[in-house]
Amino acid sequence: MVAQSTGADAKNPIQVIERMMKLLDVLSYYHDPVSLKQLALETGLHPSTAHRILAAMGATGFVERGEPGSYQLGIRLLELGNLVKSRINIRDSALPLMQRLHQEIGESVNLGVRQGDEIVYVERTSSGRSSVRVVHLVGARAPLHVTAVGKLFLLEDGLPALREYAKRTGLPGLTPNSLTSLPALSRELDKVRRHGVAFDNEEIEQGLRCIAAPIRDDSGDLVAGLSVSAPAERHSANWAPLVKQTADDISAAIGYVKPDQPAARR
Partner DNA sequence: GAAGGCCGTATCATATTGTGAAACCCAGCC
Partner DNA sequence: GGCTGGGTTTCACAATATGATACGGCCTTC
C-alpha 213/C-alpha 227 separation (Å) is: 6
Q: Which residues in the 90-149 window bind its own copies by CB under 8 A?
A: none
Q: Which residues in the 69-88 window bind DNA by CB under 7 A?
A: 69-70
- Which amino acid belongs to residue 46? H
5 binds its own copies (CB under 8 A): no
Q: Which of 7, 10, 12, 176 binds DNA (CB under 7 A)?
A: 12
Contact track, its own copies, 234-253, x by CB under 8 A: ------------------xx
* Residue ranges with strand state E in the chain: 34-35, 63-65, 70-73, 108-115, 118-124, 141-143, 198-201, 208-216, 222-231
C-alpha 72/C-alpha 54 separation (Å) is: 10
DSSP reduced 3-state for 126: coil
Taking the least distance from each CB to DNA, the nearer of 18 and 249 is 18
224 binds its own copies (CB under 8 A): no
DSSP alpha helix (H) spans, 30-137: 36-43, 47-59, 75-87, 90-105
Taking the least distance from each CB to DNA, the nearer of 36 and 222 is 36
Taking the least distance from each CB to its own copies, the nearer of 78 and 237 is 78
Q: Which of 9, 15, 29, 126 binds DNA (CB under 7 A)?
A: 15
Stretch that binds DNA, among 10-18, 121-129, 160-168, 195-203 (CB under 7 A): 10-18
Q: Which of 38, 65, 70, 76 binds its own copies (CB under 8 A)?
A: 76
**Closest alpha carbon to 107 in 211, 244, 214:** 211
Q: What are phi and psi of 72, to 5 degrees?
A: -150, 165
First to last CA, the chain: 23
| Other Cβ atoms closer than 10 A to 87 | 8
Interface residue list for its own copies (CB under 8 A): 10-14, 16-18, 20-21, 24, 28, 31-32, 52-53, 55-57, 59-62, 72-88, 218-219, 252-255, 257, 262-263, 265
List residues near DNA by CB under 7 A. Answer: 1-3, 12, 14-17, 19, 35-38, 40, 45-49, 51-53, 55, 65, 68-70
